[in-house]
Amino acid sequence: MILQESTNPDSKVGVFIHDISIRCGEQVIALEALDLDEVLAASELQLSGSINGRGNDSVLIRVDHSFRPFMSRKTIAAPVDSSTRGRFRTDLKLHNGVNSLHIKAVDVSGAVIDSRKFELHYKGSFREWNETIFIAFFLAIIIRGLVLQAFWIPTGSMEPTLLGEKRNPFTGQLERSGDRILVSRFAYVLDLSLDGRLPFGPRIWLKIPDRGDIIVFKYPNPDTMAPPKDYIKRVVGLPGDRIDIVDGVVMVNENVLNEPYIAEPPLSDFHTIVPADCLFCMGDNRNNSSDSRFWGPMPLANLKGQAVFNYLPMNRISPIRSYPLAKAFERSAEAAN
């Protein structure tokens, strides 16, 4: 609560307002003792105080109560009880936001002979919960869109590197749940559009993926009306690379890849050149993977991030390391020499 106090410089000598307090339930709080940053959580209050000086019987206390942001205002008359040494009290109902109180002692002619000003901050539980939920939702969107996003591996296309869900073929009973992984959303691109939620937000490129990185991307479905799907694959070729698969051996720009991470060598031959602004991606389970060999190159515009950590199940918690294919090229060149 922010507290401000002022005294009317034209007050008559010997007449002044003092000992102003508020009652919140069973608790009585002196306004002068309140912390400047305190926010009240109760709206039903009782305001009380005392006046001293000559002519108390003819003095009336008026409380101007206004509240923002709507700047509504009402005046409350608080009669002075001379039998209790000039005490006055009145009930207040605070509104969300800043409540301004102008407490004035006026004489029979309506002239102000003393005054005090206070500002009380009140926040209802409904508003507080709304703000908490909104902030949590906003932070979740920011973190999910710009920092980290959790994904589940439903299929076995990346085995043995990442395990998918496995069910008994006869009973349909779940025998193994798929890996749960974290994907770094800022490894390659800072997507200020938050996956298209903000059409005016730009995508700021930080770097192009390296060969061997495991990436998550939006499946380039030619059916624009189909619901979006996310795929996870390994980057094999960059824009302009020549990809050749002959007799189970994968070559990039005529360099043979050493691929200890695959389940088994691919059974069919394949040849292509990766177009500009695209990547060539394959699953590690080469003979059980829908990848660039079947649906074509992956546009860089569909890239979401890099898989960095496996957090479930417990026995598989570990970082996800990308295989440095550049070193395989070096070893291949040394062998050729």
| Helix, coil or strand: residue 123 | coil
pLDDT, position 82:
57
- Write out the two tokens for 318: 């570990």
Q: What is the pTM of this model?
A: 0.62
pLDDT, position 23:
87
Domains and CATH numbers, the chain: 16-123 (2.70.50.30), 134-336 (2.10.109.10)
pLDDT, position 220:
95
> What is the C-alpha to C-alpha distance for residues 114 and 59, in angstroms, rounded to an integer?
10
Catalytic residues: 157, 233
pLDDT, position 57:
63
pLDDT, position 229:
94
CB neighbour list of residue 249: distance below 8 Å, 6 or more residues apart? 256, 257, 265
Question: From first to last of its 337 residues, what are the pLDDT tens digits of the chain?
Answer: 333 333 444 444 456 888 899 887 778 888 887 776 677 878 888 899 888 865 466 788 888 888 876 667 778 777 776 555 688 888 888 888 888 889 998 888 888 888 998 888 887 655 556 667 777 777 777 777 778 999 999 999 999 999 999 998 899 899 899 999 999 999 999 888 877 777 888 889 999 999 999 999 999 998 988 999 999 999 999 999 999 999 999 999 999 998 999 999 999 999 999 999 999 999 999 999 999 999 999 999 999 999 999 999 999 999 998 887 655 555 444 544 4
> What is the C-alpha to C-alpha distance for residues 70 and 54, in angstroms, rounded to an integer?
39
Give percent helix, percent strand, percent coil of the chain, each to the nearest 5.
15, 40, 45
What is the maximal distance between C-alpha atoms in the chain? 111
pLDDT, position 215:
97
